[in-house]
Chain A
Amino acid sequence: MVLALCAGMVIFVLAKAWPSFASNGIGWFGAGEPDTQLGDIFKSPSAPSEYVYEIGVWPLLWGTILTTGVAVFLGLFFSLFTAIFIVEFAPPRLERLLEPVVRLLAAVPSVVYGLIGILVLVPFVANNLISDERKESVGYVTQLTGASWSVAALVLTVMIVPIMITIIVDALRSVPKGWIEGAAALGVNRWRIMWTISVRTVRPAIIAAVILAAARALGEAIMISMISGSLSFVPQPVDGLTFFFEPVRTLASSIVDNAEGLSVIPFGQTIYAFAFLLLVSSAVLSWAGWAAKIPMRKYGIRP
């Protein structure tokens, strides 16, 4: 039943999106100006033979990869150490306080994060971190308003970290006590025990946490649409510090931003193509998670 629903959804979306893929070919994934191209598609003539489909979504892809990748990377680092701290080093009272707080954070709606981002973080970045010279230096390409991919990635990190912490903490708690005592009896200190026994054992859970977090980050639309600047710009790492203040637009946020134009047939089909790509990437993510756990099963680490 669920399988049929999934398959049905994928097929339906692919069927709807097909004209956009078919008319662009491999160039669909290539460089382009999605913002202006979407405008042209929106204004395309009403005769089906004259529909405009031309688009290159690389800027959107790059925005998605950049925000998701950085957020998951930072989140993994942060959540792993927080989880180790909660399980092994925090005094019991702090532990009892931290856990409900983390669970609460996991439930905060993303719009709230977006609101805080756009009202607090974006003005802060614009006023304090970006100098006027820096704004002028790129003025002819884009405007640095403070709304940028790095702010979006940071807020995204805050959004995904609570889920990751919860999963990793639960896994660390379930590591057999005998292994920890056994390592302690060999004269290994607490930190090394955590690192060589516990973290090693919970790798499958860490992978699961990463997959779940990446899936959430990939699909996050509203918050990113609010604070990433929502421009199909391609931030270049070679820009130095300016790189961090450049705006992006992600696949998911383009769907939200362009929702009002869906009644125009070719436009709707292009948006469906974005949705199809998101669907496929989450499928690839869950497959990758499954594949990454295979080598661990051998030594008795159960996912």
Chain B
Amino acid sequence: MRFLNRWLGAISSLRLTLVCLAAAFFLVFVGTLAQVRLGLYIVQEQYFQSWFIWWSAASGNFKIPVFPGGHLIGAVLLVNLIASLIHRLSWHWRKLGILLIHFGIIIMLVGGLATDLFSVSSYMRIREGETKNYSEDSSHRELAVTDLTDPKTARVTAVPGDVLAEGGTIIQKSLPFQIVVRGFYRNSELHMIDQQSGHAVPASTKGAGARISIQSKPRATKLDARDVMSAVLEIVPANGGASLGTWLVSDVMAEPQDFELDGRYWSLQLRATRYYKDYGLSLIDFTHETYPGTQIPKNFSSKIALADDKNNDHRQVLIYMNHPFRYLGDTYYQSGFDPDNTGTILQVVRNPGYQAPYIACALVSLGLMFQFTLHLVGFARRAKPAAAP
């Protein structure tokens, strides 16, 4: 029992809180400066959504942890907070504010963790008059293998990009062949091979890749730059037949590539990961308002028709700046538009923890106000006597 008490005392101690806060302060500062070099997305991954920040030698492939990452600091702070609520803080009405603040912070940390783990962000691009029933996540790719044999029902088998990144052989029950990853490029550059320059090596033996050379590139760091993911895949029949050859698939290759195996027709395409919905959204009208006599944008708005046969919900909605549309766990935001002003780009976020910050904010604000009002009353009362020297 004594041992448990001591242990609880240590993990609930104010010193541990201070260490966590100081570490968080340092991490946020360094992580902000690092964005100049690495860009926002890589910093998020390496500094804030990680257990450790790793340092790796430029030449070798060993790496050592140099500082706790965002998840580790957050987790320790969370344990420290919960322990101090149980063990150290007194449950007295004068401390009600303190309790509320810390309870709110716990909700915020848990909500933040849930968001990091479970939230999915994607985009839906709709032209005026068009209807879409899926959104796309361009930061994640999938290899779409489509069975084209029956033109009425195209059956798609999707292989996530992360599986391709692991390499090896991909075996799926729905496919009569294996896919062997012969090359994987997180960021790459493709070049058409022209007749004169004889020394360029074709990326693959079949498909468009037979006329294209590929080069690996370091990952993109700028906010508006994206990696070009590519892979070289070999198709080997599952029944042990001879290999059909290799294909190059890449983000920048818009068209699917076809091949035939035992009388059935297939296509391969690397594309943004798709999330299908049970309902459709059509764009009726997109408007782009500017201030009179200027090019300064005043508002962007999309008039959308929702068609949900399953729930028998058919109506019009207006999505515009600062006014998203929430439907069945998805939230649609006005995010961008096509340069000709007749197409809209909606951001689609599915975040089960999205309410946590609202609740946390209310709790912490209440707590802070309660405590500081209490403090201010005492402060003013004590200040008065000093006024008459």
Co-assembled chains A and B: no
B-binding residues in A (CB < 8 A): none
